[in-house]
Structure 1
Amino acid sequence: MHDARAIANEFLKLNGGSMNQMKLQKLVYMAHGWNLAIRNEPLVSGRFEAWDGGPVMRSIWNHIRDFGFSTVNGLLGRSVDKPFEESLTPEERGIIEHVWNKYGGFTGLQLSQMTHQPGTPWTNTYFGEGRNQPLSNDDIKQHFTELALAGRRATA
């Protein structure tokens, strides 16, 4: 498992170094979900929480909370010249690129709305267990597996 801030940096790099926090949070969440569904293992350490705006990784939020809804400029790091980085496998990079190609064109609000659909891990947790409660990796895996199966059926 990787530091979520390093995975966020991968998406920041793909977007030229800037992105608003909501979009960044949702892309990391989606990469984590697809990794669970495809590779049967978490991509990031820590737990996503069911915040009002959708799934949020607290380590990312804590690192860039001062930006609020503004755009994050530059990579997340311990300092300006020490960004969070991880060694990723080719499969993990492939999932990040898949998520970017599939969801990178959406706004943070659009991605948040996707996570708020009935039956999603966020909806199940937010309305079942309460606000800011952790999402279950089992629920996230099941949801993204169902998305993959639905996609296969649609192309068959």
Structure 2
Amino acid sequence: MPYDARAIANEFLKLKEGPANQMWLQKLVYIAHGWNLAINGEPLVEDRIEAWDGGPVLRIIWNHLRDLGFNAKGGLLGKAEGKPFKAELSGSEKAIIRHVWKRYGSYTGNDLSRMTHQEGTPWSNAYFGMGRNAALKNDDIKQHFTELALAGRT
């Protein structure tokens, strides 16, 4: 079941000790979405992922952080109710979050950006094929992460 990307961002913020930045958070959510497509066969986030200059970006997270910032105690909070965005993750979705955290959580936002910027990635296909801010296609993302899995690059 796809979730609001801000709820998935909160899953990583719960695991992070210390401050987080926009790029780091964006890339972890994107990577988790990709692994979920490849392993569970379903999107993890319902929101559009766009090919920005800095790599894959979920505008809903970008706008939220631009307008409301981080809340140190509760992650990304809903504007009206002031409660954190939350996802009722299945066991296999939780496993994806744990895998991404273990494998990618210690990288910087710039490191993750470089990983998602490589030639032949869904970002480069969208950015150079359709232009800046074009949507990344879930089929492309799924294929890319499936190829990573088959190559043993977790």
Q: TM-score, normalised by structure 2?
A: 0.91
Q: Is contact 1:21–1:72 with CA below 8 Å preserved after alignment?
A: no
Which residue in the other structure is 2:113 paired with? 112
Mean CA deviation greater in 72-81 or 138-147: 72-81
| CA deviation after TM superposition for structure 1 residue 114, in Å | 0.3
Q: How do 1:3-152 and structure 2 match up within 5 A?
A: 3-16=4-17, 18-66=19-67, 72-74=70-72, 75-79=75-79, 81-151=82-152
The alignment partner of 1:151 has SS state of coil
Q: Which runs of 4+ in 1 moved over 2 A?
A: 71-74
Is the Cα contact below 8 Å between 1:115 and 1:122 reproduced in 2? yes
Residues 19 and 73 in structure 1, CA contact (< 8 A), matched pair in contact too? no
The answer on whether the counterparts of 2:71 and 2:77 sit within 8 Å (CA) in structure 1 is no
**What is the TM-score normalised by the length of structure 1?**
0.90
1:123 is aligned with what amino acid? S
Contact 2:23 2:110 in 1 (8 A): yes
Deviation track 1:4-41 (CA, whole Å, cap 9, x = no partner) reads 00000000000036310000000000000000000111
Q: More displaced, 10-19 or 88-97?
A: 10-19
What residue identity is the alignment partner of 2:103?
K
Greater fraction strand: 1
Structure 1 residue 46 displacement after superposition: 1.5
Q: Point out where structure 2 has 5 or more consecutive residues left out of the alignment.
A: none
Deviation track 1:33-62 (CA, whole Å, cap 9, x = no partner) reads 000000111000021000000000011011
Preserved contact between residue 37 and residue 144 of structure 1 (Cα < 8 Å) = yes
- Aligned-pair CA distance for 1:131: 0.3
Give the counterpart letter for 1:42 in structure 2.
P
How many pairs align? 150
Distance in 2 (CA, whole Å) between partners of 1:46 and 1:3 is: 7
SS in 2 for 1:55: strand
CA RMSD of aligned residues (A): 1.9
- The amino acid that maps onto 1:28 is V
